[in-house]
Amino acid sequence: MLRRDFLKASAALAAAGFPASSLLAAAAAPEHLKFLGQPQAFDYAWLKGHARQLASQPYRLPENHIPPEVKALDWDQYQAIGYRGDHALWAKDQLRFQVKFFHLGLFFKSPVQIYELKDGQAQELAYDPAMFNYGKSGLKADHMPKDLGFAGFRVNFHTDLERDITAFLGASYFRAVGAEWQYGLSARGLAIDCGMDRPEEFPLFTSFWLERPAKDSGKLVVYALLDSPSVSGAYRFEIQPSATMVMDVDVALYPRKTIERLGIAPLTSMFQYGENDRRLNASDDWRPEIHDSDGLSLQRGNGEWVWRPLVNPEHLRFNAYQDENPRGFGLLQRDRNFDHYQDDGVFYDRRPSLWVEPKAGWGKGAVQLVEIPTLDETFDNIVAFWNPAEKPQPGQERLFAYRLHWGSKMPFSSPLAQVVATRTGMGGVIGQKRAYYSRRFVIDFAGGDLALLGKDAKVQVMISASRGKVEITSARPLDAIQGYRAMFDLKPVDDSVEPMDIRVYLAADGQPLSETWLYQWTPPAPAQRTF
């Protein structure tokens, strides 16, 4: 919301229970920051009430009065805008956190209101061109409107005041890092109608409240208001930096209308190609693999662990994994071998994994996975989220609580062997002429009790497929990883090009030795089944 609309916003706040205030009054503040209005009472209960009230009214598009020269910024010009560290929120206060703000421009053209919350009192931060170093952006500070506003914010921790630990920027997107200090996949506040045959709705975080932490506190609390044509919502984030970053998230949603596909705790990532899906390396890229995440991990409500390698499909692909009270799910980057990527610029081997841990029973629903074709690594094409079975209805309050874990090491993992690599290629027997088309699948498992198995252990590879004929199966030790390699061919038995669902795990004496590997393979058209 623009600062010229502060009057309207104040009227709305007063109607919702905030006391009236004199506008644009001078306020006691840190030397270098300016504030709007007077401090006003704030807590999470008020924010939920405000979101509920918004949902009872027709949705209003955010007003946008960005100057043409700001709208016209290209990537390089936008990147040239720097934030002055001495203007960071709490920079003078010797706290463990500092906050810096993003300028509007490029893809980020919807201003957000940002408040400091101190002792239960909230006061809005004012945009000031003096906060920014415009460098070679082409913008001039003295030409910027005094009410331009911010696009979002990023957070620094006292251990390194140059590198971000988290950033909230664009729609309801946010990112965080673990010990590797490397951004990768994103989370979102909410997903609506993702992967459907109509345009997806992208809710916006329109306002943030940054709670001033205690002097020696290692936790930062952020509140956010979300709004969209379908829903309004109140969010509370408790952020705790560590080798694996932890965020506790509380969500209260107030639908304006029935939502066909609601995505709770949505994760957004990129998969262009990898060892299991090399179709789009036809451009002859010198890097062996390009992806932020290589698989979807699930811990189902019954305790079963599932690994689903990601693919870059030829057409949009949607999968739903039905469950009740899931224990967790995440998009992970399991492969952390630099040699498998060879990218010394963006370091895909350091990209964080992200795990969603529900705090309470979420009931019936499905973890849903959307895979979208992409030719470019700069576009996110993977989305995973929880979709409740009960569709949200207008007038309801829907509450969700969960914990996000960001980093290379997840707090939960299967006690059984895990999938560490998936490879595919032409089927058949080497040295023998192929008589028909088939596809070879090679799955490497490591961990669990595999390293303890003797040479005479009878390990079986348990395979089921929705169609086709499974043949040439084997499971043998793989000393290089102290694990086992499962191999099999899948032969299409009809001309269909519909995806085939495959399920594999290792077992011995009737007991599972590994998590379950799920895969979806689309056979080529009959004319392309060369051998």
pLDDT at 63: 81
In a domain, 17, yes or no: no
Query: What distances in angstroms separate CA 438 from CA 65, 129, 186, 468, 507, one per listed residue?
Result: 58, 63, 37, 10, 25
So what's the pLDDT on residue 289?
Answer: 95
pLDDT of residue 437: 97
Tell me, yes or no, whether 339 and 452 share the same domain.
no
Note whether 394 and 522 are same-domain residues.
Answer: no
Torsion of CA 35, 37, 41, 45, to 10 degrees: -80
Q: How far is CA 305 from the centre of its chain?
A: 21
- The average pLDDT across 92-96 equals 95
Residue ranges making up the domain that contains 518: 418-528
Which tokens belong to 471?
Answer: 């043949």
3-state secondary structure of 194: coil
Q: What is the mean pLDDT of residues 4-21?
A: 31
What is the predicted pLDDT for the residue at 8?
Answer: 30
Domain co-membership, 325 together with 441: no
CA dist 479 → 51, 153, 461, 474, 508 (Å)? 57, 48, 18, 16, 18
Together in a domain, 275 and 175: yes
> Based on the domain organization, do 345 and 430 belong to the same domain?
no
| In a shared domain, residues 72 and 175 | yes
Of the candidates 377, 383, 375, the residue with the CA atom closest to the CA atom of residue 354? 383
Are residues 368 and 489 both part of a single domain? no
- Tell me, yes or no, whether 375 and 517 share the same domain: no
15 lies in some domain: no
Q: Comparing C-alpha atoms, which of 285, 224, 220 is closest to residue 253?
A: 224
d(CA 494, CA 475): 27
The answer, yes or no, to whether residue 19 has pLDDT greater than 70, is no
Domains contained in the chain, number: 2
pLDDT band at 199 (very low <50, low <70, confident <90, very high): very high
- Please tell me the predicted confidence (pLDDT) of residue 10: 32
Average pLDDT, the chain: 92
Give the number of other CB atoms < 10 A from CB of residue 324.
14
Which one of 407, 439, 455 terminates a domain?
407
**Region 214-235 average pLDDT:** 98
The residue-averaged pLDDT of 114-137 equals 97
Is the predicted pLDDT of residue 7 greater than 90, yes or no? no
Establish if 354 belongs to a structural domain.
Answer: yes
Report the CATH number at residue 441: 2.60.40.10
Q: Specify whether 436 is located in the same domain as 370.
A: no
pTM: 0.91
pLDDT for the residue 90 = 97
* Per-residue pLDDT tens digits for 37-55: 999 999 999 999 999 999 9
- Comparing 11-25, 341-355, 356-370, the range with the smallest average pLDDT is 11-25
Within-domain flag for 165 = yes
Cα 182 to Cα 186: distance, rounded to the nearest angstrom: 12
Element (H, E) at 70: helix 68-71
Q: What is the pLDDT of residues 475-504, one digit of tens each?
A: 999 999 999 999 999 999 999 999 999 999
| pLDDT classification of 31: cutoffs 50, 70, 90 | low
Q: Which two tokens stand for residue 66?
A: 């960005």
Residue 71, classed as helix, strand or coil, is: helix
**β-strands 516-521, 305-309: how paired?**
parallel
Amino acid at the residue 78: Y
Among 350, 380, 407, the domain boundary falls at 407
User: For residue 299, what pLDDT is reported?
Assistant: 97
pLDDT at 282 (0 to 100): 52
448 pLDDT tier (thresholds 50, 70, 90): very high
pLDDT digits over 237-292, tens only?
A: 999 999 999 999 999 999 999 999 999 999 999 999 999 998 766 568 899 999 99
CA 526 to chain centre: 37
**Stretch 154-166: mean pLDDT:** 97
